[in-house]
Amino acid sequence: MAVPTVGEIIAKDIFELLKIEKISDEQKQQLFQTMINTVQARVAARIAALLNEAEAKKFKDLAEAGKTDELKDFLEKQNLDLQKIVGEEAIRYKVEISQLIGLAESK
């Protein structure tokens, strides 16, 4: 089986991409939540890596406190586009999953 292109990966539903669209809704929800958690962790790590130590601490404190508006303002002041970073990390994760599935199928 050929590995899908990035365009195909972006366009496809993640469950279709993984060929598991027939799993139960509960299983889909659990898997989807795991994926969301993974992308959120990647986003947080990427943002923290772009900040100095004091800024990274402030970012972590705001995120842990759930201060969404303050966090958004903080990131804007740092010239970080959260939506762009989230989108990029979600696509990277989807591509990585697709590549892993492709490798597993080729063995």
- CA angle in degrees (0–180, nearest 5) for 99-102-105: 150
Q: Average of pLDDT values for 35-52? A: 92
Average pLDDT, the chain: 84
Q: Average of pLDDT values for 15-32? A: 83
- Domain assignment present for residue 1? The answer is no
In this prediction, residue 7 has a pLDDT band, given cuts at 50, 70 and 90, of low
Q: Average of pLDDT values for 17-35? A: 84
In this prediction, residue 25 has a pLDDT band, given cuts at 50, 70 and 90, of confident
The number of folded domains in the chain is 1
- Domain assignment present for residue 53? The answer is yes
| pTM of the predicted structure, to 2 decimals | 0.78
Place of tokens 């027939």: 22
- Domain assignment present for residue 15? The answer is yes
Domain that holds residue 21: 6-106
- Cα–Cα distance for residue pair 38/86, rounded to 1 Å: 11
